Copies of this chain bind each other. A is one copy, B any other.
Amino acid sequence: MVAELAEAGARKATRHKATRNPEASRSRILNAARNEFVSHGLSGARVDRIASHSAVNKNLIYHYFGSKEALYLAVLEGIYAGLREQQHDEDLRELPPVEGIRRLVESTFDHFVATPELIRLMSVENIHFGEYLKRSRSIKPLYSGLLDTIEILLRRGQAEGIFRSDVDAVDLYLSISGLAYFFLSNQHTLSWLLERDLASRRRVNKRRQHIVDVVLGYLLGSPLAGAKG
Contacts and interface: CB of A to CB of B under 8 A. Distances in A.
Interface of A: 40-44, 98, 102, 120, 122-127, 129-131, 133-134, 139-140, 143, 147, 164, 166, 168, 170-171, 173-175, 177-183, 185-196, 206-207, 209-221, 223, 225-228
Given A171-B207, A178-B181, 19 more contacts: A42-B44, A43-B44, A102-B228, A120-B127, A123-B123, A126-B189, A130-B188, A140-B193, A140-B195, A171-B210, A174-B179, A175-B211, A175-B214, A181-B181, A182-B182, A185-B185, A214-B214, A217-B221, A217-B225
B40 A129 contact: no
Copies in the complex: 2
A178 B127 CA distance: 17
Nearest to A223: B213
15 contacts: A42-B44, A43-B43, A122-B186, A122-B189, A123-B127, A173-B194, A174-B183, A178-B178, A178-B180, A181-B186, A216-B227, A217-B218, A217-B219, A219-B226, A220-B221
A96 to B, nearest CB: 11
* A interface: dominant SS: helix
A199 B130 CA distance: 14
Contacts of A164: 217
A30 B116 CA distance: 33
B126 A126 contact: no
A102 to B, nearest CB: 7
A226 B130 contact: no
A202 B186 CA distance: 28
Contacts of A140: 192-193, 195
B126 A186 contact: yes
A217 B167 CA distance: 12
A17 B221 CA distance: 62
